[in-house]
């Protein structure tokens, strides 16, 4: 049996002729390791790399990547295009010798949380899903033109108006609720989140009672004051779900 050692590798993945940049945090252990794909939000100022380190310390691999048109990756950014990015990343990670294909998870924050819930629900290769302060419904979370303008400044090939239109067109997470019922899902939220406040979440709680929820009393949208607890919970929960 091959023994894998801890480390970090730079990653370049091709998607539709453009480069997706990322990093693979490799965990230590005998045989292929359980692995999480970590997805940033819009535009993704918070990278959640403390989760990548926490998972690696627990013997997991964690792949973090930047969507096309974001943070140095090539191509044009689009909200629908993120699904193609994730598909390309999934095919790549499953081809790595150090990855146990039977223990693959998704972790996403904010708009990345939306993606892990909607894409993960439709792809049985993902065995567990963690969503941190996720978007559930764009219609219930309208952003201002100034916010779209700010976000577009970080991204390539998209205007604030296009970004706003794509945001409005996102289907609510409840549209895949039936598929989430048979998948281990953990959602962490913050009582002090001003972007997606607590009243954003009851519809999904009612639609999918099997989801495990954890609300941090002092948590803002990035769980800034409770990062240690959030990382520990993420790691502990994933290990409990995908250890065999």
Task: Please check whether residue 43 is in contact with residue 103, taking contact to mean a CB–CB distance below 8 angstroms.
Answer: no
Residues 6+ apart with CB under 8 A from 208: 177, 180, 181, 185
pTM of the model: 0.97
- Check residue 18 and give left, alpha or beta (phi > 0: left; psi -120 to 50: alpha): beta
pLDDT given at position 1: 79
pLDDT given at position 59: 97
**What does the domain layout of the chain look like in residue ranges?**
3-241
What span, in angstroms and rounded, lies between the C-alpha atoms of 138 and 166? 10
What span, in angstroms and rounded, lies between the C-alpha atoms of 47 and 108? 10
Mind listing the pLDDT tens digit of every residue in the chain (244 residues)?
799 999 999 999 999 999 999 999 999 999 999 999 999 999 999 999 999 999 999 999 999 999 999 999 999 999 999 999 999 999 999 999 999 999 999 999 999 999 999 999 999 999 999 999 999 999 999 899 999 999 999 999 999 999 999 999 999 999 999 999 989 999 999 999 999 999 999 999 999 999 999 999 999 999 999 999 999 999 999 999 997 6
Query: Any idea which architecture 3-241 has in CATH?
Result: 3-Layer(aba) Sandwich (3.40)
Task: Please check whether residue 91 is in contact with residue 59, taking contact to mean a CB–CB distance below 8 angstroms.
Answer: no
Which residues pair with residue 14 across a beta bridge?
A: 19
């Amino acid at each position: 049996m091959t023994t894998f050692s801890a480390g970090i590798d730079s990653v370049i993945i091709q998607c539709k002729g453009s480069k997706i940049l990322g990093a693979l945090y490799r965990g230590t252990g005998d045989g292929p390791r359980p692995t999480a794909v970590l997805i940033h939000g819009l535009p993704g100022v918070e990278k959640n790399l403390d989760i990548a380190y926490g998972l690696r310390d627990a013997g997991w691999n964690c792949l973090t990547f930047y969507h096309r048109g974001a943070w140095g990756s090539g191509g044009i950014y689009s909200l629908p295009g993120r699904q193609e990015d994730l598909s390309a990343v999934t095919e790549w990670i499953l081809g790595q010798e150090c990855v146990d294909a039977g223990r693959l998870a998704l972790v996403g924050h904010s708009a990345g949380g939306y993606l892990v819930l909607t894409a993960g629900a439709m792809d049985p290769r993902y065995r567990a899903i963690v969503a941190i302060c996720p978007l559930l419904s764009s219609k219930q979370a309208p952003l201002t033109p100034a916010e779209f303008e700010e976000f577009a400044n970080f991204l390539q090939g998209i205007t604030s108006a296009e970004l706003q239109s794509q945001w409005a067109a996102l289907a609510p997470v409840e549209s895949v609720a039936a598929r989430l019922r048979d998948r281990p899902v953990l959602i962490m939220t913050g009582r002090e989140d001003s972007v997606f406040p607590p009243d954003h979440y009851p519809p999904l709680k009612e639609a999918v009672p099997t989801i495990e929820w954890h609300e941090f009393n002092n948590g803002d949208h990035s769980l800034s004051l409770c990062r240690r607890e959030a990382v520990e919970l993420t790691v502990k929960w994933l290990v409990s779900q995908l250890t065999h």
